[in-house]
């Protein structure tokens, strides 16, 4: 019988995320042990996500923890994840976590899991994975940021990503990404291109068209692949809902000076896949385009067609996607759906259909590593958590520690692999 972790107190406070915006943090305690989890916050949120904070914002979320959540959770066993998460749903009483906020549900749910793992002295990834051997998730990182994650002159596409597909350790993978990030700056400066700074997720902000940016990144990847022997490949998060004009039914690329119909957007995406050998393509079409996604996926060969705003870590949306064949990869953001149990259900559903699951940060983050513990624990072959910046590197460093721990326990099966 695992040692029970009886909850003795739950407290919340308002703190800052990496963007300087406020978010909620909770402390959950069991005699002599206390864990602290803060919720990340998105900027380009999907319309089908749960509501992050109650009306009234973070202060109201803090108040509701004091008033509603703390009294109900006190005395419960943090190790009973399902019961904790059901209780959070019961306290909230709405479909979209409108009363307590999805970010509060996230922080409390993950804190309960961490508390149980601390009390039982088992790392969280191990507790989640059970007795199976684990693979280290491949880090997918943002090297150029635009769209909703930057201001002023910037790329239309939100995230230009790299992933070291043939790395042999977490450290080697993280370093291949940081080298690529640095090489992009070097090449851009050499060409005299305007580098404006960094976006919310640490990627460079550049005043370039989509193709100019992809040319630059492809060159950087080639250099890094040659010097390190690690194959670094390119991906995109188009975040196409931010480009989509529902009324006019066109995708608007302000920097590129283009307005694309649905068919033209699909052709543009296929041309980028072909020209830049994209290994990963997230949200290439808007968040309700299940059928168009399916058409694109069928033409996209082995490229991972990933749903973020399309699927929002939600089992009902995954079922829709399975009906049409819309995707073969899924972003997992626990606070899109609320609790760890909801997120685990979505991951298991997607994985059983053969989807590559990609555990993901949000653009507003906090400096802690539990995302990596959850990614490895739930067998996600990829983790999207950025390349540089304390709040991004905290996840990469945690991957390095998990690898070391799993090796010691003889529970390591190496780096994850993705079809490429
Ligand atoms: P976010 O989105 O800004 O809502 O975190 C990031 C993403 O689209 O992947
Ligand atoms: Zn996305």
Q: CA-CA distance, 124 to 121, in Å (whole number)?
A: 9
Which tokens in the block code for residue 273? 């896949």
DSSP string, 97-125: -TTT-HHHHHHHHHHHHHHHHHHTT--HH
The predicted pLDDT at position 175 comes to 98
Q: Does ligand 1 lie within 6 Å of residue 361's CB atom?
A: no
User: What residues contact residue 277 under an 8 Å CB cut-off, 6+ apart?
Assistant: 233, 234
Q: How far is CA 80 from CA 2, 77, 111, 134, 304, in A?
A: 11, 6, 12, 23, 35
The atom of ligand 1 lying closest to the CA of 384 is 9
Cα 405 to ligand 1 centroid, rounded to whole Å = 30
Block mean pLDDT (10 aa), the chain, length 420: 93 98 98 96 94 98 98 98 98 98 98 98 97 97 96 96 97 98 96 87 97 98 97 98 98 98 98 98 98 98 98 98 98 98 98 98 98 98 98 98 98 93
Q: Does ligand 1 lie within 6 Å of residue 333's CB atom?
A: no
Q: CA-CA distance, 108 to 28, in Å (whole number)?
A: 7
Of the candidates 186, 92, 85, the one whose C-alpha atom is nearest the C-alpha of residue 143 is: 186
Cα 362 to ligand 1 centroid, rounded to whole Å = 5
Q: Does ligand 1 lie within 6 Å of residue 237's CB atom?
A: yes
The predicted pLDDT at position 194 comes to 76
The atom of ligand 1 lying closest to the CA of 40 is 5
Burial (Cβ within 10 Å: 0-12, 13-18, ≥19) of residue 38: buried
Of the candidates 33, 225, 191, 48, the one whose C-alpha atom is nearest the C-alpha of residue 116 is: 33
Cα 411 to ligand 2 centroid, rounded to whole Å = 31
Provide the 10 A C-beta neighbour count for residue 282: 28
User: Terminus-to-terminus CA distance in the chain, angstroms?
Assistant: 43
Strand pairing category for 304-307 and 22-30:
unpaired
Provide the 10 A C-beta neighbour count for residue 8: 15
Determine contact, residues 249/311, Cβ cutoff 8 Å. Answer: no
User: What residues contact residue 52 under an 8 Å CB cut-off, 6+ apart?
Assistant: 39, 41, 42, 45, 101, 102, 103, 335
| Residues marked as catalytic | 201, 333
Q: CA-CA distance, 298 to 295, in Å (whole number)?
A: 5
The atom of ligand 1 lying closest to the CA of 363 is 5
Q: Does ligand 1 lie within 6 Å of residue 241's CB atom?
A: no
Of the candidates 95, 38, 39, the one whose C-alpha atom is nearest the C-alpha of residue 333 is: 39
Q: CA-CA distance, 196 to 187, in Å (whole number)?
A: 14
The predicted pLDDT at position 26 comes to 98
The predicted pLDDT at position 199 comes to 95
Q: CA-CA distance, 118 to 182, in Å (whole number)?
A: 37
Of the candidates 210, 227, 240, the one whose C-alpha atom is nearest the C-alpha of residue 164 is: 227
Tokens 């390095």, residue located: 400
Burial (Cβ within 10 Å: 0-12, 13-18, ≥19) of residue 93: exposed
The predicted pLDDT at position 251 comes to 98
Of the candidates 192, 300, 329, the one whose C-alpha atom is nearest the C-alpha of residue 310 is: 329
Q: Does ligand 1 lie within 6 Å of residue 357's CB atom?
A: no
The predicted pLDDT at position 1 comes to 77
Tokens 């010097």, residue located: 227
Cα 41 to ligand 1 centroid, rounded to whole Å = 8
Q: Does ligand 1 lie within 6 Å of residue 43's CB atom?
A: yes
Cα 308 to ligand 1 centroid, rounded to whole Å = 8
Q: Does ligand 1 lie within 6 Å of residue 44's CB atom?
A: yes
Q: CA-CA distance, 352 to 44, in Å (whole number)?
A: 28
The atom of ligand 1 lying closest to the CA of 46 is 4
Of the candidates 304, 296, 237, 238, the one whose C-alpha atom is nearest the C-alpha of residue 262 is: 296
Residue having the nearest C-alpha atom to atom 1 of ligand 1: 42
- Which residues is 198 bridged to in the sheet? 204
| Pocket-testing residue among 102, 158, 201, 287, ligand 1, by greatest number of atoms within 8 A of Cβ | 158
Strand pairing category for 412-415 and 134-136:
parallel
The overall pTM is greater than 0.95: yes
């Amino acid at each position: 019988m695992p040692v029970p972790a009886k909850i003795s107190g739950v407290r919340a406070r308002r703190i800052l995320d990496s963007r300087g915006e406020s978010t909620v943090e909770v402390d959950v305690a069991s005699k002599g042990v206390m864990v602290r989890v803060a919720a990340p916050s998105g900027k380009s949120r999907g319309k089908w996500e749960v509501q992050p904070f109650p009306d009234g914002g973070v202060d109201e979320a803090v108040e509701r923890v004091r008033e509603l959540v703390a009294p109900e959770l006190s005395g419960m066993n943090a190790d009973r994840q399902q019961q904790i998460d059901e209780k959070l749903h019961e306290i909230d009483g709405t479909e979209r976590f409108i009363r307590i906020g999805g970010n509060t549900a996230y922080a409390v749910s993950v804190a309960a899991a961490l508390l149980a793992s601390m009390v039982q002295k088992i790392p969280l990834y191990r507790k989640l994975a059970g007795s199976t051997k684990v693979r280290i998730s491949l880090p997918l990182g943002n090297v150029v940021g635009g769209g909703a994650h930057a201001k002023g002159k910037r790329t239309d596409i939100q995230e230009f990503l790299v992933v070291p597909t043939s790395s042999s350790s977490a450290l080697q993978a993280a370093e291949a990404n940081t080298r690529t990030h640095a090489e992009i700056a070097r090449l851009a400066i050499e060409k005299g291109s305007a580098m404006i700074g960094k976006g919310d997720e640490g990627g460079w902000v550049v005043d370039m068209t989509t193709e100019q940016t992809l040319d630059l990144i492809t060159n950087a990847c080639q250099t890094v692949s040659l010097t390190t022997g690690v194959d670094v490949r390119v991906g995109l998060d188009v975040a196409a809902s931010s480009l989509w004009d529902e009324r006019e039914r066109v995708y608007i690329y302000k920097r590129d000076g283009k307005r694309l119909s649905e068919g033209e957007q699909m052709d543009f995406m296929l041309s980028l896949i072909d020209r830049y050998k994209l290994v990963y393509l997230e949200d290439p079409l808007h968040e309700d385009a299940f059928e168009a996604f399916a058409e694109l996926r069928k033409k996209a060969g082995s490229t991972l067609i990933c749903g973020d705003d399309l699927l929002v870590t939600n089992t009902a949306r995954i079922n829709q996607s399975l009906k049409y064949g819309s995707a073969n990869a899924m972003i997992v953001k626990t606070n899109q759906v609320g609790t760890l149990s909801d997120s685990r259900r979505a991951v298991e559903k997607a994985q059983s259909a053969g989807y590559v699951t990609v555990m993901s940060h949000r653009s507003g983050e906090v400096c802690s590593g539990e995302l990596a513990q959850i990614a490895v624990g739930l067998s996600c072959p990829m983790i999207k958590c950025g390349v540089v910046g304390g709040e991004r590197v905290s996840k990469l460093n945690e991957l390095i520690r998990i690898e070391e721990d799993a090796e010691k326990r003889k529970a390591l099966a190496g780096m994850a692999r993705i079809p490429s």
